[in-house]
Structure 1
């Protein structure tokens, strides 16, 4: 059945939203309970698992772990960055050795210019990359490491102001605001803006 919720004003509608501004995964804001896990995604995942079977799923996991391990080992040898913990699975977090010398969010923007979609994390500032089957199938580990090194070099040698309007600049500013209620308010305003036609 179709259901519609109508609110007298945005203040009442805000009770439907979920905002977590102090989560290490970043500023998370969603207009509804399902968040980023809608039913269609769950059904699609189940269908793929049924199609692949247990042996296909195990092979996929092995390929993902091989690629993740390659990236982890490469980051450990890289100058200027470090792993944020030792991952046991396929999620790799990379932070700056010295945040005063290298803005890791700007490195994330430089990686975006090279086609990578990394999540920006906070407390501490770092980049989060989830190695997927697509990355494993394309043997993306060597390319990821080469692009990460090139991105670090790009940030270190960039002219002043190159990254001033970037996602990293905005995200870094939001992560540095001590009063998290201000960040919550900005997230609520962002969701509100999505509902105006």
Structure 2
């Protein structure tokens, strides 16, 4: 399939012109990725991007992200769940706007802390699908953290995915066998499974 790619001044990148109505999603994704990396390269003033190091990590953005995180935590403590959720979401968006050539280790650390906080906020606000999505992403990023399995397990429990919740709590306990919260939640879900199966009165 042939497509007509041209530079579009409005988006400052390549776009498909006079193409078929339905463009292959993979082609569209690759085009967006190409435009993103080109934008990042154009924004660099050096001839070659410098290697990512802690020294060239944008400290101003880090301070902004830290303030948003602290504001979200304070809002959560004051019972303002929606304000807290908004602060964490904005902070995650700021992380996404970081230069793609910055050190990923710092970005990953910031993202992990914010996703944990936002997942807890979603659970408190009874937004269980969103909490599940954040916890699922956290498990992909930080597999050995038992609390992330707790978060996903609780979301699964309230979504009535009891077997998945049981599996999450058991996986979390594999990393921390004496975790009281995981043990308590596992007992709750086991009781629920027995009740659902009619084996428990």
Work out which of the two has the higher radius of gyration on C-alpha atoms and give 1 or 2: 2
Greater percentage in strand? 1
So what's the TM-score if we normalise by structure 1?
A: 0.29
